[in-house]
Amino acid sequence: MMKQVVWIYYLWVWWSTSICVEARNDSLKAGERLDANSTLCSKHGRYCLLFQDTVNSEDNYNYLVIVSKRNFSDRGSEIWMYDRNQPIDISSAVLSLNKSGVLKIEFQYRKEIIIYSSPQPINNTVATMLDTGNFVLEQLHPNGTKSLLWQSFDYPSYTLVPMMKLGVNRKTGHNWSLVSWLTHSLPTLGEFSLEWEPKEGELNIKKHGKVYWKSGKLGNNRLFDNIPANVQQNYQYVIISNNDEDSFSFEIKDRNYKMSPEWSISSTGRLSSSEGELGNADVCYGYNSDRGCQKWEDIPTCRKPGEVFERKMGRPNTDYAFFQDNVSYVYNDCKLSCWRNCGCHGFRKYYGNGTGCIFYSWNSTQDVDWEDDFKFYILKKPTKSAPSHHAPIGDDKVVRQTIV
């Protein structure tokens, strides 16, 4: 009993003595902190840093995030998330910057998370939320100059904003790329990435390193061949290739642009912006090459060119179903397994968080009320008018239909 009292007393002493001055305005100075009830917003309020649960997560994951203030009210606006594989308990989480220049997340009952720490103590540091959406840690020098120590732009999540880079830092070997969520409700690192390929001068969407989609090269009009022109007309691309880096970024031509200029890659491999779809690996089946898709295998003998999975709503009959309850399987694994299995005609997720698979051996559903409907995917036969057209199936379009 005495040991328990001493331990509780120790925790109370640690927490009470570690309380520092709360951060003000757009910066976190040495000795200041940001707790779960505080928000650090950029000078003009465009972006904010805070602790928040993810908007789409069913498992109530919490992270240190940067959100676009433009969409802050609806909370559907995270543009950056620190370490998606390590959710945190925000009931006692504190972001702090100590006088030695260590930026870290502290907790009352668990080990701290170090975001940045120099081999040698650094004095006179400040962490600032910028209007670009970049959260930076800098050292201030007596002559008024600053040295960059760490920045969130070096660790993109699944969203690209203007001036954030894709590519590689030649000095450090550090790569910049976007990585999707694992599923629609699991923020952990997913299957798809968006990368810049400097030798070819193209954007690639990859699944586990295999190229599924390419943007095509920049034409004389400074637009990518495989991205609809109307979607990219407001963007100006910045491509750098020198001894320091090979990188791609974009800027907005019109400074009065009202929409949120963000590119995001989804768990199904769809790259989209406020203007519309830029690319979609979900329409790439391995044998087709339309709309930027790449070829990597022959079409299964039981499939026909133009045959695709279409998203529908209904309750498929499980009398003709088989299951894969492995939580390592997500949407694209289910899709690929069904595509290669001639006895499979449709599928849907097994668990609520989007993992596991239920496969359907033929097209059979039963009528139910809308409230009880499931989202599932069913093979759609090709149309004669467009034998190679692959309609997007991600989150774009839902077809409500009962198949008999």
H or E, element range at 252:
strand 245-252
Q: Give CA separation, 55 vs 58, 63, 204, 349, in Å.
A: 9, 11, 27, 20
149 belongs to a structural domain: no
Residues 281 and 306 in one domain: no
Residues 291 and 359 in one domain: no
- Structure tokens that stand for 284 in this block: 């790439």
- pLDDT tens digits for 162-209? 999 999 999 999 999 999 999 988 999 999 999 999 999 999 999 999
320 belongs to a structural domain: yes
Residues 212 and 228 in one domain: yes
Host domain of residue 383: 299-400
- Structure tokens that stand for 303 in this block: 């499939």
148 belongs to a structural domain: no
- pLDDT tens digits for 259-295? 678 999 999 999 999 889 999 999 999 999 999 999 9
- Structure tokens that stand for 96 in this block: 């702090």
> How far is the C-alpha of 279 from the C-alpha of 213, rounded, in Å?
7
11 belongs to a structural domain: no
Residues 110 and 207 in one domain: no
* CA quadruple 335, 338, 344, 348: dihedral sign: negative
CATH (domain of 103): 2.90.10.10
- Structure tokens that stand for 193 in this block: 């990435």
Residues 246 and 228 in one domain: yes
Whether the per-residue pLDDT at 402 is higher than 50: the answer is no
Closest CA to 266 of 278, 253, 255: 278
Residues 289 and 307 in one domain: no
> How far is the C-alpha of 292 from the C-alpha of 214, rounded, in Å?
5
> How far is the C-alpha of 167 from the C-alpha of 175, rounded, in Å?
6
Structural Rg of the chain based on CA atoms = 24
Compare 91 and 360 and report the one with higher pLDDT.
360
Task: Please report, as a single letter, which amino acid is at residue 202.
Answer: E
Residues 310 and 258 in one domain: no
CATH (domain of 227): 2.90.10
Q: DSSP for 268-299?
A: TSEEEETTEEEEEGGG--SS--GGGB---SPP
- pLDDT interval class at 210 (50, 70, 90): very high
193 belongs to a structural domain: yes
Residues 87 and 187 in one domain: no
1 belongs to a structural domain: no
Residues 270 and 170 in one domain: yes
Strands 94-97 and 32-35: antiparallel
Q: Count the alpha carbons within 13 Å of 338 in the hemisphere toward its beta carbon.
A: 32
Indicate the residue among 296, 326, 354 that finishes a domain. 296
Residues 275 and 171 in one domain: yes
| pLDDT of 317 | 74
| pLDDT of 185 | 87
- pLDDT tens digits for 211-259? 999 999 998 899 999 999 999 999 999 999 999 999 999 999 887 766 6
Residues 291 and 303 in one domain: no
- pLDDT interval class at 381 (50, 70, 90): confident
| pLDDT of 134 | 97
Task: Please report, as a single letter, which amino acid is at residue 375.
Answer: K
Indicate the residue among 274, 296, 318 that finishes a domain. 296
Q: Give CA separation, 302 vs 307, 322, 337, 357, 359, in Å.
A: 10, 19, 13, 21, 17
- Structure tokens that stand for 256 in this block: 């009065």
Question: How many other β-carbons are positioned within 10 Å of the β-carbon of residue 53?
Answer: 14
Closest CA to 153 of 15, 269, 288, 47: 47
Q: Which 3-state string (H, E, C) describes 112-170?
A: CEEEECCCCCCCCEEEEECCCCCEEEEEECCCCCEEEEEEHHHCCCCEECCCCCEEEEC
Residues 197 and 281 in one domain: yes
2 belongs to a structural domain: no
Structural domains in the chain (count): 3
| pLDDT of 218 | 94
Q: DSSP for 186-226?
A: EEEEEEEEEEEETTTTEEEEEETTEEEEE---B-TTSSBTT
* CA quadruple 181, 192, 313, 318: dihedral sign: negative
Q: State the chain's mean pLDDT as an integer.
A: 84
Indicate the residue among 264, 280, 296 that finishes a domain. 296
CA 54 to chain centre: 11
Q: Give CA separation, 2 vs 6, 109, 148, 337, 388, in Å.
A: 6, 19, 48, 58, 75
- The partner residues of 270 in beta bridges, in order of sequence, read 280
> How far is the C-alpha of 225 from the C-alpha of 222, rounded, in Å?
9
- pLDDT tens digits for 95-125? 999 999 999 999 988 889 999 999 899 999 9
197 belongs to a structural domain: yes
